[in-house]
Amino acid sequence: MAAEPRPIVLLAVPPHPDGRALLEQEATVIECAGLTEAAVIAAAEEAEGLLIRHKPLCTESLMAACPRLRVVGRYGAGLDTVDLAAATRVGVAIVHAPDANAPAAAEHALMLMLHCVKNTRTTDRMARAGDWRQVRYQGITELRGKTLGIIGVGRIGRTVAQLAAAFGMRRIGFDIALSSDELRRRGVEPVDSLEALLGGADIVTCHTPLTERTRKLIDRAAVARMKRGAIFINTSRGGVHDETAVYEALVEGRLRAAGLDVWEQEPPSPDNPLFRLDQVVCTPHVAGVTEEADRAIALQVTGEMLRVLRGDKPEALANPEVWPRPLQRL
């Protein structure tokens, strides 16, 4: 009796080798030569699974043009590059890795906070130049005793709260999706509005997905509500904050410092004015991509893809209302 043909999975991102090995146990794995929508559609004629990261965007036109597609794996936690409503209409399951990179992203946020309070950009430059003047002591402070305002207390925000507790910080949190009791269970004191958080925090850190509701959430008005001398941290998505508003507040001294891992345009232009400020610590969207997180992401998302291809409901299904329609596309 002939064995059933193995499903084909198309890779539009090179996963960690352990993730690829897991896929290859049950599927035929092929790589896409390009990252445009047209290139993926051309390569996905027989594919039942597609693994993507940032490019191409997972649009309705892409999914509809792949006749055998049953599951798309988003290589990471965020879903802002995926049209979830369209996936449900077309009948494609969207799986992702919501748990895998929370420790990495939370550590990165704390690292940015530490750089900001310790003035490491300035003191590093002074040390390399042999400049040991007394001015090197100026402005160095501690996290202990500071109030940390966490916007978005999901997996990453909750982990940030846990780490901040070890530094002796007071943690306040705001999340429109969580009750006050749940916020307390996640290690933060609930506040009843974003405005209350902004006005009460010494450091504001963003851990919210990018949606139409959160786009430019930190705009001029929001920055104006922050304490004078506050620090702003964003490791979520660049679209959550207005770079011009943050820059202006830094130049005027209303914000003391900022730690930014995400940008409105990625990669940002080399002449982005934020790069000229010593009080800004910059990283290139790497908060959630440690070696450990990359492996964990790969294993979680490829494992979820295989569940769909076997006919089992996945645990990290971003559009649960689609189930079991992926089985009905063939």
10-residue mean pLDDT series, the chain (330 residues)? 79 94 96 88 91 89 92 90 92 92 96 97 93 90 98 96 98 96 98 97 95 94 97 96 98 98 95 96 94 95 96 94 75
Q: Which domains does the chain have, with CATH numbers?
A: 8-100+291-328 (3.40.50.720), 102-282 (3.40.50.720)
Measured between alpha carbons, how far is 209 from 275 in angstroms, rounded to an integer? 25
Cα 160 to chain centroid distance, Å, stands at: 13
Pairing of β 93-95 and β 28-31: unpaired
Q: Residue 231 has which token pair?
A: 């620090």
Amino acid at 327: L
Tell me the Ramachandran region of residue 248: left when phi exceeds 0, alpha when psi lies from -120 to 50, beta otherwise: alpha
Residue 283: what pLDDT?
97
Continuous segment of H or E residues that includes residue 73 = strand 71-74
Residue 1: what pLDDT?
47
Cα torsion 169, 116, 232, 254: sign: positive
- Which one-letter DSSP state was computed for residue 33? S
Rounded alpha-carbon distances, angstroms, from residue 141 to 26, 110, 173, 265 = 54, 14, 23, 32
Pairing of β 203-206 and β 189-190: unpaired
Residue 78: what pLDDT?
81
Residue 328: what pLDDT?
60
Measured between alpha carbons, how far is 166 from 134 in angstroms, rounded to an integer? 30
**44 in Cβ contact with 50 (< 8 Å):** yes
- What's the pTM? 0.86
Q: Taking every pair of C-alpha atoms in the chain, what is the biggest distance, in angstroms?
A: 82
Cβ neighbour number for residue 50 with a 10 Å cutoff: 27
- For 273, list phi and psi in degrees, rounded to 5: -60, -25
Tell me the Ramachandran region of residue 311: left when phi exceeds 0, alpha when psi lies from -120 to 50, beta otherwise: left
Question: Which are the catalytic amino acids?
Answer: 237, 266, 285
Measured between alpha carbons, how far is 246 from 241 in angstroms, rounded to an integer? 8
What b/e readout covers 311-325, taking b as 16+ CB neighbours within 10 angstroms? eeebebbbbeebeeb
Residue 3: what pLDDT?
60
**302 in Cβ contact with 19 (< 8 Å):** yes
Angle (deg, nearest 10), helices 102-118 and 155-166:
50
Q: Which residue in the block uniquely carries the two structure tokens 């929508």?
A: 37
DSSP result, 208-271: ----TTTTT-B-HHHHHHSPTTEEEEE-S-GGGB-HHHHHHHHHHTSEEEEEES--SSSSPPTT
- Which one-letter DSSP state was computed for residue 329? -
Residue 329: what pLDDT?
57
Residue 247: what pLDDT?
98
Measured between alpha carbons, how far is 135 from 31 in angstroms, rounded to an integer? 55
